[in-house]
Amino acid sequence: MKFFWGRVTIKQLQWLVWVAVYFIVFFSFLPMDGIVQAAIFTLISIFFYAIIIYGNIMFLFPRLYERGYHVQYIVCVIILLLAAGTSRGFITMTIYNRYFAEHREVITYKTLLSFTIPGVLIYVLSFIFRIAMAYFKLKQQAEEILVQKSQAELNLLKSQVQPHFLFNTLNNIYYEAYREAPATAKLIERLSDIMRYFVDESPRDEVSLATEIHFLENYIALEKIRIRHTIALNFVKDCNAEIRIPPMLFMTFVENIFKHGIDKSSSKNKIELSLTNRDGYLLFQSRNSIHDKPGDTEPRGFGIQNLRKRLTLLYGDSFELKTENTGQYFSAFLKVPIA
């Protein structure tokens, strides 16, 4: 939606509505009151109409009615209508008597209360105003999502060029390395598989458990080349490889093991991993030895916190995530439902 030279905002739309209402009320007053008197009285009326509308939809309705305070809401609405109506009547009659009346009119309670009657209609219209604003905001959000989606698709098409060039280059390096150093070629192949996983699999909603396990094994193999001594690693896989799960559910645990649970100068590093499925749940467990690292002040736990938030979005309250630090070993347990 365009507004003269740009996209219309909710504030601009409201100003446009109020300007239109002003002229409607002004031309209804004009035949009886004249230009100056009609302009002044219209401005006063619009001001109090705005108080009723915004007082209801921005304050009373969300803070009282939507929170269950129905009786308090009704009482406050009545007070609002009486206060706005009588105030409008008093100001209008005062200005009229001082500047426009040939014969001063007496301001009575009955006269003031008569100004509250239009306020009841304005109060009802405030809900239509609220619905219109909510619809416009929702439509704007939908348009923004479509624009972002189109831009994301374009960026994805652009970004695919570089990864595929890199994959092809890694394949060429792999064939050259295989002639001289097969072990090195195998590591290059694992790196290529990891990169393909990030590009092709991680954006998906679900991947097969076999794909996830293969990714973890490749990651572990590449991490092990940075460590001087052999690691005592045991990875038990007693599960259905065809199970579909969200990608990278277990990466946080494995990454933390190599980041915080490995001493590169020690020959006593132990890692235990297991994946099992039973009774409609997939169970992941990890356990690794802990080594004292003087000067290691790096903050920890953010990866687990972020994973917990992601799991909550994916499974609600249907998952279980526990970690334990005994001083010698760090263990983690994750239980998620499977279809």
The residues, ordered by sequence, that sit 6+ positions from 274 with a Cβ below 8 Å of its Cβ are 235, 236, 237, 238, 283, 284, 285, 286
Are residues 155 and 187 in contact, defined by beta-carbon separation less than 8 angstroms?
no
Say whether both 120 and 187 belong to one domain: no
Nearest to 109 by CA among 90, 96, 91: 90
Are residues 52 and 39 in contact, defined by beta-carbon separation less than 8 angstroms?
no
When pLDDT is averaged across residues 131-160 and rounded to a whole number, the result is 76
Say whether both 14 and 94 belong to one domain: yes
Q: Could you tell me the pLDDT band of residue 276, with boundaries at 50, 70 and 90?
A: very high
Say whether both 292 and 315 belong to one domain: yes
When pLDDT is averaged across residues 123-152 and rounded to a whole number, the result is 86
Question: Of 203, 237, 272, at which residue does a domain stop?
Answer: 203
Say whether both 192 and 286 belong to one domain: no
Nearest to 45 by CA among 87, 98, 101: 87
Q: Could you tell me the pLDDT band of residue 2, with boundaries at 50, 70 and 90?
A: very low
Q: Could you tell me the pLDDT band of residue 59, with boundaries at 50, 70 and 90?
A: very high
Nearest to 52 by CA among 13, 82, 14: 82
Say whether both 83 and 16 belong to one domain: yes
Which tokens in the block code for residue 309?
A: 């938030």
DSSP single-letter state for residue 235: E
Say whether both 324 and 218 belong to one domain: yes
Write out pLDDT tens, residues 88-120: 999 999 998 888 887 888 888 888 888 888 899
Say whether both 44 and 61 belong to one domain: yes
Q: Looking at the 3D structure of the chain, how many domains does it have?
A: 3
Say whether both 15 and 139 belong to one domain: yes
State which residues form the domain around 195. Answer: 160-203
Say whether both 99 and 147 belong to one domain: yes
Write out pLDDT tens, residues 148-202: 877 776 665 555 545 655 666 777 777 667 777 787 888 888 888 888 887 778 7
d(Cα 151, Cα 153) in Å, to the nearest integer? 5
Say whether both 11 and 68 belong to one domain: yes
Q: Could you tell me the pLDDT band of residue 22, with boundaries at 50, 70 and 90?
A: very high
Neighbours of 240 (CB within 10 A): 12
DSSP single-letter state for residue 121: H
Say whether both 138 and 269 belong to one domain: no
**DSSP count for the chain of H helices, then E strands:** 11, 9
Say whether both 140 and 218 belong to one domain: no
d(Cα 235, Cα 233) in Å, to the nearest integer? 7
Q: Could you tell me the pLDDT band of residue 1, with boundaries at 50, 70 and 90?
A: very low
- Of 35-49, 213-227, 297-311, give the range with the top mean pLDDT: 35-49
Stated pTM of the model: 0.50
Whether the predicted pLDDT of 240 surpasses 60: yes
pLDDT of residue 154: 62
How many residues in total does the chain contain?
339
236: helix, strand or coil: strand
Q: Could you tell me the pLDDT band of residue 80, with boundaries at 50, 70 and 90?
A: very high
Give me the CATH number covering residue 244.
3.30.565.10
Share of the chain above pLDDT 90, in %: 38
